[in-house]
């Protein structure tokens, strides 16, 4: 019904609208630019220009001896054969595969628990679980770094109190898990809040209907709550993927405490940082950054597609 009406309206208009349209189009385009001009200027300056500049940089090579020269796609060829780069990608890939599900799982569990209304001291839990997110990542990492200390830190104290020797959380084998622990601690609250706010907008009539139908809590969760917050789940997953690939603060700060466990190419971002700031390899650093950006985009896009498809 509606489409037909629409057609009718558009069909009746063409003849009289013809003459003014061409004039209006010129005027409209100027007015439009006037409105989006300020935005486009800022957008171009702070979004497009850096990307274009990075791509430009990635096509050159600056040497201490010999200066600057155009090298085409050499930097990209080098990156594809760079074992250090791919080891860092694999590391954040592993991090993504293990830490993100754990973190989102805990966040979802907490959000459902708080939303169930059966939790005593709901507001206290909501605030205290969210609180770590308000602590700056740098401070959080330093704090955890001290706790991880085997000599004077919490681990050291536990060792001394119980007369045992826990393995060093900052040793090469465990440091990634230790970082995962910090990141989980930091972001469970944030993701919990996303899920919780999505749960709050589920109409209560659905729950009433479920109760009348005799559905239990688990049935309510699986049949009502989870489908209702699928959008929030997809968003939180995408944020977490981007966050994992951009892992930088935590390893960069812990590097001072565990210089031999966290290499300069521990994560792709740390690698790009080391390349440009210790080695002045700005060009190659830009290349690494661009490749990582593309990989992140591709994976986030796949997740989004899958999330959408399920929703449809």
Partner 1 sequence: MRGFTHRRLVRGAALAGALTIALAACSSGGSGAPGTTPSTASSAAGQSALEQGGKITVWAWEPTLKKVVADFEAKYPKVTVDLVNAGTGNAQYTALQNAIAAGSGVPDVAQVEYYALPQFAIGGSLADLTSFGAASLDGTFTPGPWASVKQGNGIYGLPMDSGPMALFYNKSVFDKYGIAVPTTWDEYLTAAQKLHAADPSAYIANDTGDAGFATSMIWQAGGHPYTVDGTNVKINLADAGSTAFATLWQKLIDQKLLAPISSWSDQWYQGLGNGTIATLTIGAWMPANLESGVAAGKGQWRVAPMPQWTAGGTATSENGGSSLAVPKASKNQQLAYDFIKYADAGAGVQTRIDGGAFPATTADLQSAAFVNKTFDYFGGQKVNEVLAKSAADVVKGWQYLPFQVYANSVFNDTVGKAYVSGTTLQQGLKAWQDSSVTYGNDQGFTVNK
For the CB of residue 125, give the shortest distance to partner 1 in the complex, in Å: 34
Q: How far apart are CA 53 and CA 45, in angstroms?
A: 11
For the CB of residue 271, give the shortest distance to partner 1 in the complex, in Å: 11
Number of neighbours of residue 231 by Cβ within 10 angstroms: 13
Contacts of 101 (CB under 8 A, 6+ apart): none
- Complex with partner 1: residue 10 or 280, whichever CB lies closer: 280
For the CB of residue 41, give the shortest distance to partner 1 in the complex, in Å: 23
Contacts of 182 (CB under 8 A, 6+ apart): 140, 141, 144, 250
- Complex with partner 1: residue 57 or 100, whichever CB lies closer: 57
Q: How far apart are CA 103 and CA 82, in angstroms?
A: 31
- Complex with partner 1: residue 9 or 64, whichever CB lies closer: 64
Cα 148–chain centre separation: 26
Strands (E), the chain: 60-63, 67-70
- Complex with partner 1: residue 22 or 278, whichever CB lies closer: 278
Q: How far apart are CA 31 and CA 25, in angstroms?
A: 10
Q: Which of 195, 41, 27, 35 is nearest to 107 (CA)?
A: 195
- Complex with partner 1: residue 12 or 68, whichever CB lies closer: 68
For the CB of residue 181, give the shortest distance to partner 1 in the complex, in Å: 20
- Complex with partner 1: residue 168 or 250, whichever CB lies closer: 168
Q: How far apart are CA 131 and CA 187, in angstroms?
A: 10
- Complex with partner 1: residue 7 or 256, whichever CB lies closer: 256
- Complex with partner 1: residue 16 or 67, whichever CB lies closer: 67
Contacts of 129 (CB under 8 A, 6+ apart): 110, 188, 189, 192
Residues at the interface with partner 1 (CB under 8 A)? 63-66, 149, 151-152, 171-172, 256-257, 259-261, 263-265, 274, 277-282
Contacts of 10 (CB under 8 A, 6+ apart): none
Strand partners, 63: 67
For the CB of residue 258, give the shortest distance to partner 1 in the complex, in Å: 8
For the CB of residue 188, give the shortest distance to partner 1 in the complex, in Å: 28
- Asked if residues 33 and 25 have their Cβ atoms less than 8 Å apart, the reply is no
For the CB of residue 65, give the shortest distance to partner 1 in the complex, in Å: 3
For the CB of residue 281, give the shortest distance to partner 1 in the complex, in Å: 8
């Amino acid at each position: 019904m509606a489409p037909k009406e629409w057609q009718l309206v558009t069909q009746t208009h063409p003849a009289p609208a013809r003459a003014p349209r061409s004039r209006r189009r010129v005027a409209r385009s100027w007015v439009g630019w006037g409105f989006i001009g300020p935005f486009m200027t800022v957008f171009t300056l702070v979004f497009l220009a850096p990307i274009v500049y990075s791509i430009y940089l990635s096509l050159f090579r600056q040497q201490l001896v010999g200066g600057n020269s155009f090298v085409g796609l050499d930097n990209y060829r080098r990156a594809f054969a760079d074992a250090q780069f791919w080891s860092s990608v694999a590391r954040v890939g592993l991090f993504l595969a293990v830490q993100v599900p754990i973190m989102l799982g805990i966040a979802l569990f907490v959000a459902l628990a708080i939303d169930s209304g059966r939790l005593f001291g709901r507001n206290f839990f909501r605030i205290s679980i969210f609180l770590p997110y308000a602590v700056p990542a740098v401070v959080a990492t330093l704090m955890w770094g001290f706790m991880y200390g085997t000599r004077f830190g919490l681990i050291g104290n536990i060792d001394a109190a119980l007369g045992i020797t826990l393995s060093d959380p900052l040793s090469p084998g465990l440091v990634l898990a230790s970082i995962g622990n910090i990141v989980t601690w930091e972001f469970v609250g944030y993701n919990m809040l996303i899920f919780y706010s999505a749960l709050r907008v589920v109409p209560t009539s659905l729950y009433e209907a479920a109760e009348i139908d005799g559905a239990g809590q688990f049935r309510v969760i699986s049949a009502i709550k989870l489908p209702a917050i699928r959008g929030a789940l997809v968003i939180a997953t995408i944020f977490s993927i981007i966050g994992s690939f951009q892992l930088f603060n935590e390893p960069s700060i812990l590097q001072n405490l565990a210089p031999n466990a966290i290499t300069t190419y521990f994560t792709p971002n740390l690698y790009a940082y080391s390349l440009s700031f210790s080695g002045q390899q700005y060009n190659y650093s830009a290349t690494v950054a661009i490749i990582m950006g593309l990989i992140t985009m591709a994976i986030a896009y796949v997740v989004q597609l899958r999330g959408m498809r399920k929703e449809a």
